[in-house]
A = this chain, B = another copy of it.
């Protein structure tokens, strides 16, 4: 008999003293089918199963099925079993209460990082997959599988070996980090989620513009968000920030001090210091997102708030932008005081994350592949970065400016205020160049008018051509007058 699944029959058990007869069985099935509880095409249990489950004889069960088949309610199919008949005149169930759509918020997030073919993606924050160490990672997976194999259980805080590696790496970069303070996460996004959902006083200040999924996430979790204006061409107006922070009293400042997303700006040491001083003076916590750090190179690093401010700064980073985005692996560095709350938040959200992925990364770092990879990537990104800014200087019309991050995957291209970025995007799409509209990054009115340009994802040749196209379309828009 085939392996088509069959539905378990749920006949109330009257204590076992009462043995079902054929007639009762027929009545039960008849009612189940005509009421729509058993539906056309569903397989009913094999006779042998009824025999065992209900303690009736095989003959009784078979007789009941025969009677039901005669009534047109069941039908036998050779080598498949007995099914509820398609041509039954059972009631069609109407749709039940259309429960959910009106009950759910839709946070309205754009779905997918899939990459369509044949387009130059200036909008990506990822690294060109051709530069990623897929074979080395595969080797590490194989090694983890070979010894000691797939582990049945997960560690809620994350693989201890990888946590130790992360801590050692950060210590080498001037941070005082214990492996016990490291919590592995599903990309840095989960780390932001854990912090925001644990926050008692739900007010968070962020740079403006800012990584849009952070702002959406905070809002989705019921947090009020407060903008701190950032202009990559002017730096931070520290007096303005102090005033905003003083008047809104956020519990937390979420900051991306190196290679800020989306502007590419990096805080000066004075700005880092000042933010830490304000944190002490005004009593807010800091969540530092150091996403771009390891893209500077394998050995050079930039000062971080965590290094300067110590254990009171929550520090987030991720392997997503440096290795395969599909690994979904990041971490947060907490402190003995905050670890418990953050770990509880992680457990409530996902219980724990995939051990195989974590063990693979631990192996990858143990073998020293990570720094080798970063050095190699950095050399290539450096070439692309330089080519990108040279090309920008060469082709862009007057009035166009760009930030000079010197690292990270993107820079900010600022357009003359007369240009409508939406119109530019339409024209670029027609020429197979993809840019991202910047609106998601801003709190309402924008003090910048431009978009993020990736030099890490497209090849050098693609960047060269695409920027030529951008310049052409910009000139066309500007001379059209309907910029």
| CA gap between A221 and B153 in the complex, in Å | 27
**Which residues of chain B are within 8 angstroms of A198 by Cβ–Cβ distance?**
104-107
Whether a CB of chain B sits under 8 angstroms from the CB of A430 is no
Specify which chain B residues have a CB less than 8 angstroms from the CB of A152 in the assembled complex.
126, 129, 132, 134, 324-326
Against B, the Cβ 8 Å flags (1 = close, 0 = not) of A98-116 are: 1111111111110111110
Contact, CB under 8 Å: B328 / A154? yes
Which of A4, A32, A107, A222 gathers the greatest number of chain B CB atoms within 10 Å? A107
**Chain B residues with CB below 8 A from A199, complex form:** 103-105
Q: In residues 151-178 of chain A, which contact B (Cβ within 8 Å)?
A: 151-157, 172-174
Asked if A326 contacts B10 (CB within 8 A), the reply is no
A317 touches B (CB below 8 Å): no
Residues of B within 8 A of A37 (CB): 269, 273, 303, 308
In the complex, A356 has a CB within 8 A of chain B: yes
Give, as a whole number of angstroms, the nearest-CB distance from A34 to chain B. 13
Query: 1/0 per residue A47-61: CB within 8 Å of B?
Result: 001000000000000
Specify which of B141, B328, B352 is in contact with A145 (CB 8 Å cutoff): B141
- Contacting residue for A138 out of B150, B156, B334, B354, CB 8 A: B150
**Least Cβ distance of A399 to chain B in Å?**
19
CB-contact partner of A280 in B97, B134, B189, B296, under 8 A: B97
A413 within 8 A of B: no
Measured between beta carbons, the chain B residues less than 8 angstroms from A193 are 348-350
Whether A217 is near chain B, meaning CB under 8 Å from some CB there, is yes
Say whether A310 contacts B356, CB under 8 Å. no
Q: Count of chain A residues with Cβ under 8 Å from any Cβ of B?
A: 135
Q: Across the interface, which residues of B come within 8 angstroms of A342, CB to CB?
A: 104
A464–B156 Cα distance when bound, in Å, is 30
Q: Mark A115-133, 1 if CB is under 8 A from B, else 0.
A: 1000000000010010010
Residues from chain B with Cβ under 8 Å of A447 in the complex? none
| Interface stretch (choices A19-27, A67-75, A281-289, A469-477) | A281-289
B101 in contact with A371 (CB, 8 Å): no
Known: A97-B280, A279-B99, A341-B106. A301 touches B357 (CB 8 A): no
CA distance A34 to B454 in the complex (A): 39
Cβ of B10 and Cβ of A303 under 8 Å apart? yes
In the bound complex, residues from chain B placing their C-beta under 8 Å from that of A326 are 150-154, 352, 354-356
Interface residues of A in 255-312 (CB under 8 A from B): 266, 268-270, 273, 276, 279-281, 283-286, 296, 298-303, 307-312
Q: Would A300 and B5 count as touching, CB distance under 8 A?
A: yes
Contacts of A3 in B (CB 8 A): 298-299, 371
Give A49 Cβ to nearest chain B Cβ, in Å: 7
**Smallest CB gap from A190: residue in B:** B350
Q: Return the CB mask of A321-349 against B: 1 if under 8 Å, else 0.
A: 00011111100001101101111110111
Are B344 and A108 in contact (CB-based, < 8 A)?
yes
> Closest residue of chain B to A105, judged by CB?
B198
Query: For A42, what are the chain B residues with a Cβ–Cβ distance below 8 Å?
Result: 174
| Inter-chain contacts of A458 with B (CB < 8 A) | none
Measured in the bound complex, the distance between the Cα atoms of B404 and A221 in whole Å is 41
Q: Does A300 contact B45, Cβ atoms closer than 8 Å?
A: yes
- Shortest CB–CB separation between residue A456 and chain B, in angstroms? 13
- Chain B residues whose C-beta falls within 8 Å of the C-beta of A345 in the assembled complex: 105, 107, 220
CA distance A258 to B355 in the complex (A): 29
Does A386 belong to the interface (CB within 8 Å)? no
Chain B residues near A41: list those with CB within 8 A: 174
Closest-by-CB residue of B relative to A368 is B3
Nearest B residue to A10, CB-CB? B269
Known A113-B153, A152-B325; contact A300-B341, beta-carbon cutoff 8 A:
no
Q: Which of B107, B186, B310 contacts A344 (CB 8 A)?
A: B107
10 closest A-B pairs by CB:
A99-B285, A101-B337, A129-B152, A326-B355, A104-B341, A97-B280, A107-B344, A106-B341, A186-B350, A109-B344
Q: What would 14 more interface pairs be, CB under 8 Å, given A106-B198, A328-B352?
A: A3-B299, A10-B302, A95-B310, A99-B279, A99-B284, A100-B334, A103-B252, A103-B285, A104-B342, A108-B344, A114-B155, A154-B326, A190-B349, A213-B351
A-B contact pairs, 14 of them (CB 8 A): A4-B299, A8-B296, A93-B310, A95-B310, A99-B285, A99-B313, A103-B200, A111-B343, A112-B156, A112-B157, A113-B156, A189-B348, A327-B356, A356-B356
